[in-house]
Amino acid sequence: MTAGRSILGRILGSNLRRHTATLLSGSGIALVVSLGLQPVLARLYAPSAFGVADAFVSIVALVLPFASLKYEDAIMIPENDDEAATILGLAFSIAVAVCLVLTLALPFREAIGTAVGSPELGRWLWLAPFAVLLYRVSELAELWTARAQRFRAASAATAARSVSTGAVRVAIGVQAPVHVSPLGLIVGFISGYAASLLVLVFGRLPRVLHLLKTRSARAMRAAAARFRRFPMFSMPSALLSSGAGRLPFLLLLFYFDESTVGLFGRAFTAVMVPLTLVGSAVSRSFFVHAAESSRQQTLDRVSGRVHDRMVMVAMLPAVTILVAGPQLFGVVFGNDWTIAGDFARVAMPWFALAGITSPLTRIFDVSERQRADFVASLLTFVAVTAGFVAGCLSGDAVRAILIGATAAAIARIAQLTLLLRIAGVPLTEAIAPYVRYALYATPLAALLVAGAASGSGAAVLFAALFGMAVYGLFCLRKLTA
């Protein structure tokens, strides 16, 4: 572990590298657990069950921006901890109030499910307010923990979330009668955030409760006014970003069926889980240090370093899926999931760019450029929605995802360009990582092509594992030389 952190330290630099390395240790456990259980879950649940669960998560994601009006994004900005605690109390109060309001929609849950094309979804929407509350409060606890630079606790919370989610899903899934039911998948999703919250507040609950109780209404109103640009611009921006990421699931459900959504969801999960876990770890550390760098006029160096590392991480799954996605999905998940590999292949540029861009969106927050954030998110939402609607009207699921993902990738390129420009990263420095890591990945691509040409699924799997291991070691050696 010490040697691993030393390597990561040399890669990332200063406190940012140390904190990111700590967070990545928890993300590494989460990654192993999540990816290791995916083949098991694919054999325990039907694609239609995954489709309903993915639609549930999509609805939760669309509601989340309202659950705090995005005031939590201001927690890192004040230098004074007392002011930051007031923002925390404000965001928590709003989250509780919004979730109470959500319960008023429960009588209409079956109508909502029918409207989006899945009556089965309506059966489980009564769990949505609990999911929204636990998700948002867990995120508030993570941000407060990151502000205090308690990165070990944040790392442990990430691992606990993945372990809890996986354990609950498997425990319920082994019961044969629920094979086609999304119950285990949905409850597992909720339990993961409950476990994360418990880890973050363990031993500190009395202090946290005292912190929240001592926030005066007057101070919270002052904080709400001081940081009003967050609900005015960041909240709509977050809503649009959630829509751009999750609306495709609901559109595929409306135009096609639950099984199509489930297959697309496995493609999304298999690729985005590694990118999201790494991106989340980098984002939490980057948020803290980007705020400091912004005040010290060194945001360009930190942002350029993070962008370079995210391109390095994204290049691995990108090359693998583009070359041998369908074969790998068939071997790992079973023949019924081969079409998910086709979905992953055509959507891969979008997935990769989304993973690269995600942690860098904190640049909008630390530079207080909420208007730019809103405009970028609006354009992304319009592009994704128009692309997926046009694609779905074709009547072919693969073509729908290809057209929608292409529009989404173009929008992500525009957003990433804007972010790096705000941070002051030169254009040549922004382009260089893509050329460099594509060249590093060329041997991996050649190995995968040879494996695919053999016609053996085992050969493709071996080529992917061996090639990715060699690529990873090569990158580590190159970056730490």
* Residue whose tokens read 């580590």: 476
Q: How many CB atoms lie under 10 A from the CB of residue 410?
A: 18
Q: Which position has the higher pLDDT, 439 or 204?
A: 439
pLDDT at position 180: 66
Which residues make Cβ contacts (< 8 Å) with residue 106, sequence separation at least 6? 125, 126, 129
Question: How far apart (Å, rounded) are the C-alpha atoms in residues 409 and 349?
Answer: 6
Q: What is the Cα–Cα distance from 67 to 284, expressed in whole angstroms?
A: 20
Instruction: Give the pLDDT confidence of 157-173 residue by residue, as tens digits.
Output: 888 888 899 999 999 88
Q: What is the pLDDT of residues 352-379, one digit of tens each?
A: 999 999 888 888 877 778 788 888 889 9
- State residue 1's pLDDT score: 39
CA 264 to chain centre: 16
Two tokens at 298?
């060194």
Instruction: Answer yes or no: is pLDDT of 480 > 50.
Output: no
Those residues whose C-beta lies under 8 Å from the C-beta of residue 102, and which sit 6 or more positions away, are 63, 128, 129, 132
Assigned token pair, 57: 């998560």
Range of lowest pLDDT (71-75, 176-180, 182-186, 313-317)? 176-180
Tokens 């405009």 belong to which residue?
A: 375
Share of the chain above pLDDT 90, in %: 33
Mean predicted lDDT score pLDDT of the chain: 84
39: three-class secondary structure by DSSP: helix
